[in-house]
């Protein structure tokens, strides 16, 4: 994937969009000294280039009852590695899996999973995750507390 050149004004816009979710083009324009329409055009150009992909709503997972976060390291068998796409497709279908990364090293995938509690994770683990074909090993780590979580990129 090739990176796209952005100037300092684009960087300011992106910084504000990341750090102040819901900020509109008029407010950004006031802060950086551009008209609302100029900001809107730049934002549209950033969307067209695929730099701005979405503007998600941030929800406090614990306030809605998702109190347990688990990081699962998944290692596939050598036969299972030939079906990485099938594993990835299965994982995408589970709403409990928030993130899935392919790793280089002694494990193949890192999954970030949220559930209501440990019992719900145990059920997910035994009924879904461990049933996927080609799995050799799963090591789960329960997150005790969150020190930092950010979606803001260092622009």
Residue 96 in tokens: 């409990």
Report the alpha-carbon distance of residue 37 to residue 90 in Å, rounded. Answer: 43
CATH code 3.30.70.920 region(s) in the chain? 61-143
CATH fold of 8-48, please? Answer: Arc Repressor Mutant, subunit A (1.10.10)
Averaged pLDDT, 2-8: 87
What pLDDT is attached to residue 80?
61
Report the alpha-carbon distance of residue 97 to residue 66 in Å, rounded. Answer: 12
Q: What is the pTM of this model?
A: 0.80
Residue 25 in tokens: 């083009």
CATH number of 61-143: 3.30.70.920
CATH code 1.10.10.10 region(s) in the chain? 8-48
Task: Report pLDDT digits (tens) over 73-94.
Answer: 999 987 766 778 889 999 999 9
What pLDDT is attached to residue 19?
86
Report the C-alpha dihedral over residues 28, 32, 34, 39, rounded to 10 degrees.
-40
């Amino acid at each position: 994937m090739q990176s796209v050149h952005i100037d300092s004004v684009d960087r300011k816009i992106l910084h504000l969009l990341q750090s102040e979710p819901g900020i509109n083009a008029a407010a950004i324009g006031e802060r950086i000294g551009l008209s609302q329409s100029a900001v809107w055009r730049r934002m549209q150009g950033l969307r067209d280039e695929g730099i701005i992909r979405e503007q998600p709503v941030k929800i406090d997972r614990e306030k809605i009852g998702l109190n347990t976060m688990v990081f699962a390291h998944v290692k596939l068998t050598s036969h299972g590695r030939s079906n990485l796409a099938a594993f990835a497709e299965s994982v995408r279908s589970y709403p409990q899996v928030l993130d899935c990364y392919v790793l280089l090293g002694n494990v193949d995938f890192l999954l970030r999973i949220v559930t209501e509690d440990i019992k719900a994770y145990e059920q997910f683990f035994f009924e879904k995750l461990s049933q996927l074909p080609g799995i050799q090993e799963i090591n789960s780590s329960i997150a005790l507390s969150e020190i930092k979580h950010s979606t803001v990129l260092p622009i």
